[in-house]
Amino acid sequence: MTLLKKNEEHIAVIQARMGSTRFSGKTMALIAGRPLLWHIIERLKRSVYLTKIVLATSEAKENDILEELSSKQKIFFIRGDEHDVLSRFELAFKVYKPSTITRICGDCPLVEPSFIDRSIEQIVQQDVDYLKADCPEVIHQGIETLSNFCFKQNLSFKEDPIVKEHVTPLIYKKSRLYKIGRINLFEYEKKSGIRFSVDTRSDLKFIRELYRKSGKQPSNLSIKEALDLIDRDPSLLAYNEHVIQKSARQKTEYIYFYHKGLINEYFLKLAQDYAEKKGFGVKFFTAEVNSKKIIKLKSYGFKVKHLKNDREFFQIVFKDSPELIYLPLISLPKELSDLYALKNEKKRKVYKLIKC
C-alpha cells in the first residue's frame, strides 16, 4: 500500500441526524443489537488511512443522542444547520484541514473500510481530485472521497439548494474543473440494484435479516458475505427491492399528513408507499391526544408534530409549501384553495389529497 505523508489529515465525515423524513430515528435503529451509527463508526475505525472520524449532525435537540454515542465511541463531532448538510461538511473541513475528505452517509451499515483506503490511496498515488469506477454501477453506497482542492472548489456552489442537501452532485457536472482518476473494482463490487443503505423500514428489515441469516457479530458482516447470502437465497431481495433509490441530484419532495384520530392500516400504508416507492419525505401533524395512536405513527418511522388546531397546520403549509398534503375533509382557507388543486381521494372518502 502507498505510504501517505506524515501529518496529513484524511478524515471521514458521517452525515447523520435523527430527523429523517423517510424513516425518522433510523440512525439509532438496532441492527444485531447495536445502533446503525455504531456499526458505521466501528467499521470506519478499521481503516488504515483515516486519521479522524467526524460525526456531522445538526443542532436540533433530538440529535443529542448522536453526540453522546460519538463521545462514547471516542470520535469527533460537529453540529450545524439541520437542512444545510454541506455547511456541516464545511465546518469539519475548516476545523481539520484535511488532504482528503470522505463523505459517509449515516444510513450505510455495511460501509467497507478497505474501499475507503483504496480510494484515499488512489487519489494520493494518482494525484487526482476524485475517482471514477471502471464500471457504470458500484455496490458501495454512501461513500465518496474527495481531495482538498475538489472539496474547496465544491464550496463555490454552496448556495445551490441541491448542493446544500446532497453535498457533491455538481462535481460530476463540472468535471472539467478537476483531475479525475480511476479506481479498479473487484468483480463483486460491480454489482448494482441491491440496496444496502437504510432509508426506510423495509431497508432495515433487509439488513437485520442478512445479519440473522449470517450469524455474524455486530459490524462484522462484509458486503461480499452479504452478496453470497443473496446468491444462495435471492428471495431476500423481496424485503426492499420495491424501495426507490433517490438520485443524488434529486431534491426531496414532501407530503404532509394531517389527521384527527382516523388512523388505520390504509392510512399508514399510503404514507409508507410515498416514502418507499416514491421517495417522498413524510411528516405527520395531528390534533390527536390519544398517545397510543401517536406511538403507533412513530413506530412506523414517521415524525409526528402535535398541533392545537387546523389553523396551525395551515400556517405550516404556507411556510413550507410541501408538494402534497393529505388531510380530512375540512374547510380550507381561500389562500390554500388558490395555491393547491383539489383532488378527492377515492379509497378514503373522509380524506382528500391536495397537490401543489
pLDDT over 60 (residue 299): yes
Mean pLDDT of the chain: 87
pLDDT digits (tens, 9 = 90+) for 197-254: 999 999 999 999 999 999 999 999 999 999 999 999 999 999 999 999 877 667 788 9
Query: By the 8 A CB rule, do 265 and 231 touch?
Result: no
CA–CA distance, 129 with 107 (Å, rounded to integer): 25
Strand partners, 303: 283
What are the sequence ranges of the domains in the chain? 10-190, 201-239, 254-355
At 334, the pLDDT band (50, 70, 90 cuts) reads low
Q: How far is CA 48 from CA 74, 116, 317, 337, 356, in A?
A: 17, 9, 48, 58, 50
Q: What is the pLDDT of residues 48-99, one digit of tens each?
A: 999 999 999 999 999 999 999 999 999 999 999 998 999 999 999 999 999 9
Q: Could you please report the per-residue DSSP string of 250-307?
A: PPPPEEEEEESS---HHHHHHHHHHHHTS--EEEEEE----HHHHHHHHHTT-EEEE-
Is pLDDT above 70 for 343? Answer: no
CA distances from 274 to 26, 78, 196 (A): 17, 32, 20
- Residue 289, pLDDT > 70, answer no
pTM for the whole structure: 0.88
The CATH number of 254-355 is 3.40.50
Q: Is 237 helix (H, G, I), strand (E, B) or coil?
A: helix
Task: Band the pLDDT of 351: cuts 50, 70, 90.
Answer: very low
Three-state DSSP class for residue 133: strand
Output DSSP code: residue 62.
Answer: G
Q: Computed from CA positions of residues 33, 39, 45, 46, in that sequence, does the dihedral angle turn out positive or negative?
A: positive
The CATH architecture assigned to 10-190 reads Alpha-Beta Complex (3.90)
